[in-house]
Amino acid sequence: MRRLLYGMAFLTGVLFLGHFACAAERLSAEFTQTKTLSGFSKPLESRGTVVIYSDLGLIWQQLTPFESKIKISENAVSSRASDGPQEVVPISFGVDSYSIPQLIQAVFAGNDTILQTQFHVKKEMLSDGKTRLTIVPKNKEGFPLFLSANVLKAANVERVEFTDAAHNKTTILFTNTRHTHLEQSEANREFQDR
C-alpha cells in the first residue's frame, strides 16, 4: 500500500507541474482523493495538501481521515503515518533512468523526450479547451503497481484518475491551487524543513 502511495504522489507531482518554467517555484493545492477498492462497499476518501517544489521534489500530506506524509526528493522517499516513526527509502536509478525531480523538470519544460523515457504519453485536446493526458509506464519494473492514469487539466491539473495493478481506481480532485516564486535558497530551506 505504501508503494502505491509513493507512486501516486510521484505521478501527481509530475503531472501537476507541467506549466512551471523556473526552478524556484512552489505549487501548493488541496486535494480530495476517492479510492474504490474491490471488496469494499464504500469508497475510501481522504483529504489533504500537496506542495511541489519545481526542482526539489514534493510533499503529499494527508490530513483526514488520519494524518500521514510522504516526501519525495531526488534520492529518497520518506514517509510518516500519524504518530509512527519516519521511514526513509533510498531511490536508486540506472544509468539510462532519470530521477524523480528530473522527470518533474521535464514536465516543467515540456520536454517530452525525457518524460517519454519512462511513460507512454498521449495528449488529447478536448472541446472545452482542456487537455487530457493518458500516461502508461513503459517499464512495469520501475512502476509495478501503476497501470495507467488519465489527467484533466486547464491552466492547472484539476483531476487525476489512477488505475493500479489490482484494477482499483483512485480519483484525485485538486482545488485552491497556488503558485509562489521563491529564491532558490528559500526553496531549499523550506523543502528541508517540511
For the stretch 167-194, pLDDT in tens is 899 999 989 988 888 888 888 888 887 7
Residue 189 lies in domain: 2-193
Q: What integer pLDDT is reported at residue 2 of this predicted model?
A: 52
Domain harbouring 116, CATH code? 2.50.20.10
* Amino acid 18: pLDDT: 46
So what's the pLDDT on residue 160? 84
What is the number of structural domains in the chain? 1
Three-class secondary structure of residue 182 per DSSP: coil
* Interatomic CA distance for residues 55 and 73, integer angstroms: 9
CA 76, chain centre distance (Å): 15
If pLDDT is split at 50, 70 and 90, which confidence band does 92 have?
low
Q: What mean pLDDT comes out for the span 8-30?
A: 59
Taking 60 as the threshold, does the pLDDT of residue 79 lie above it? yes
Instruction: State the chain's mean pLDDT as an integer.
Output: 77
pLDDT at 21 over 60: no
| Residue pLDDT, tens place only, 36-61 | 998 899 999 999 998 888 778 888 89
Whole-model pTM: value is: 0.76
Cα 47 to Cα 33, 71, 185, 191, distances in angstroms:
6, 16, 30, 21
Q: C-alpha cell of 105?
A: 523538470
| C-alpha–C-alpha distance, residues 161 and 138, integer Å | 18
Classified as helix, coil or strand, 83 is: coil
Residue 24: pLDDT over 80 = no
Phi then psi for residue 7, to 5 deg, are -60, -40
- Which pLDDT score is estimated for 22? 44
Q: Is 90 exceeded by the pLDDT of residue 93?
A: no
